[in-house]
Amino acid sequence: MKKVFGLLGITALLLSSCKDDDGMGQTSFIESPRFYINATVDGLPLNLRAGESGYQMYTSYEVQDSVLKMKGILAVDTPQLKRALCIVIRGSEIIANSSSPDPGTALQQGPLPYSDPSGSTVQPGYYDYFFAADTINGHIPLMWKTPNSSYYGDSCSLIGINQENYNSFSVEMQSQGPLSCTPSVKHTIYTGQSDKAQVYILKSTNSELQAEVQSRIGNVKNVNWQIAGQNAGSGTMVNHSVIGFQPGYRVKAEIEFESGGIEIIEKVVLPGSPTCDINIDYRKQGHRVPNAHNLATVELQYFDQNGKMYSSAYPNAQGYFEIESLGEYLDAAASSHKHKRFSFLGDAILKSADGSTLQVNNIFGSFAVAYP
C-alpha cells in the first residue's frame, strides 16, 4: 500500500483554516480506506475515501485564544475546495494550558457543543452505549431494535443502560435497503465486560457458508457456531455446506474471550456477495454528568460542488455528533507530528454565510487530527 507523508511547513502553530487554499495543513495522507466519510447531503449520497479520485486526508493543529484547535479534512488539494468535509475539534482551556496537551480528552462523545470529560463526573453502574452501522456500501436505510425502543432511519443509535437492570441486553440492526445480503445483525452484550468482536460473512450461497469472527477488543478464545438452528462446530472460522439452504437462514456465533467474557452475534444471511455484509460497531463508556463550565466543541464544515462552505458554527446549532477516540495513529510515524485517529457519527443542519442551510444525515466515517 502506498503511503505519502508530506510536511507542508515546519511552523507548528501557524496553520491554515479548512477554508484556506494555501496547502490545507501540516500533514497529508494518501491512504486507503482508513480515512473516509459516508453521509447523505440534502438527500444525495456522499461517499469519499482517501486515495480515491484525488482525495487525501489532511491534518493540522494550532493554539488559538489559549485553546487547542485540531483539524481533519478529507479533500482534493485544489485552490478552491469542493465536495470536501472538515472536522474542527476545539478543546477546553484546561487542555491548551496543560504542559502535555492530551487530545484524547477532546476526542469524546457529545453534541455540538459537547462536554469535555475532564470536567465531568461518571455515574457509577450506568453506561452509555453508542452503536453505529459498519458497512462498505455507504448509506443503507436501517431499523434499530434496542431494549428501550425500535425506530427507523439512522446510521447510529445511543442507549443508556443501568447495570442493575440489565446484566445483558440485545441490540438488532435490520437493513431496509436492496444492497445488503445480511438483512439483520444482532448483538447480545454483557454489561460487565468490554471485549467485543464481529462476524464477517466471507461466502454465502444456497449450499455453502463461510464466516469468520474477528476481535475488536480482547482476545478470542473460542467460538461455537450454529447455522439454521444446527450446531456447526467451533473455532474462529466456519465453513459449512448444506444442500438446500433457504434464503434468510440464521447464523449464530457464541464468542468466548480469554478474559472470560462472552458475546453472542446472530446474523440473517442471504446468498450473495460478501461485500454487502453489514455489521454493528459500538463502544461503551461510563455515563458522564458534565460540568457546564468546562466545554469543548466540534465544528463540521462542508464545501459543496461549487465551493460554498456550510458550517455547524452558528448560534443554537442543530445537530448531533459523536466522536470516539481510537488512540495514536501509528502509521504517521514517518511524520514529525503526532496524530490521533478517530471515528465519528451523527446528523447536522449546516448553514452558510448567506443563511442558506444544508442537511447532512447519517454521517459515519474515520478521520485523523494532528496535535503537539
pLDDT digits (tens, 9 = 90+) for 181-222: 567 899 999 988 889 999 998 888 777 889 999 999 999 999
Same structural domain for residues 299 and 246? Answer: no
Residue where a domain stops, chosen among 260, 287, 314: 287
Q: pLDDT digit string (tens) for 149-190?
A: 777 655 666 777 888 788 899 999 887 665 555 678 999 999
Same structural domain for residues 281 and 295? Answer: no
pTM: 0.51
Same structural domain for residues 89 and 147? Answer: no
Supply φ then ψ for residue 135, to 5 degrees.
Answer: -145, 145
Between β-strands 121-134 and 309-311, what pairing exists: parallel, antiparallel or unpaired?
unpaired
Closest CA to 326 of 217, 196, 218: 217
**pLDDT-derived band at 229, boundaries 50, 70, 90:** confident
Same structural domain for residues 163 and 281? Answer: yes
Residue where a domain stops, chosen among 237, 267, 287: 287
> What is the identity of the amino acid at 295?
L
Q: What is the DSSP letter of 79?
A: S
Q: pLDDT digit string (tens) for 258-316?
A: 999 999 999 988 776 565 677 888 888 777 665 544 456 788 999 999 999 999 888 77
SS3 content of the chain, % helix, strand, coil (to 5): 5, 55, 40
Same structural domain for residues 228 and 331? Answer: no
Same structural domain for residues 350 and 250? Answer: no
Kindly tell me if the per-residue pLDDT of 32 is higher than 60. no
9-18, 39-48, 165-174: least confidently modelled range: 9-18
What range does the domain containing 168 cover? 125-287
Same structural domain for residues 158 and 234? Answer: yes
Average pLDDT on 15-37 reads 51
Same structural domain for residues 29 and 157? Answer: no
pLDDT-above-70 percentage for the chain: 68
> What is the identity of the amino acid at 99?
S
Residue where a domain stops, chosen among 241, 267, 287: 287
Same structural domain for residues 133 and 166? Answer: yes
Closest CA to 6 of 19, 25, 20, 22: 25
Q: pLDDT digit string (tens) for 103-115?
A: 766 665 444 544 3
Number of H helices, E strands in the chain: 1, 27
Between the two ends of the chain, the Cα-to-Cα distance in Å is: 27
Q: How far is CA 128 from CA 55, 145, 152, 185, 283, in A?
A: 34, 16, 20, 20, 8
- Domain CATH code at residue 151: 2.60.40.10
Same structural domain for residues 132 and 187? Answer: yes
What is the number of domains present in the chain?
A: 2
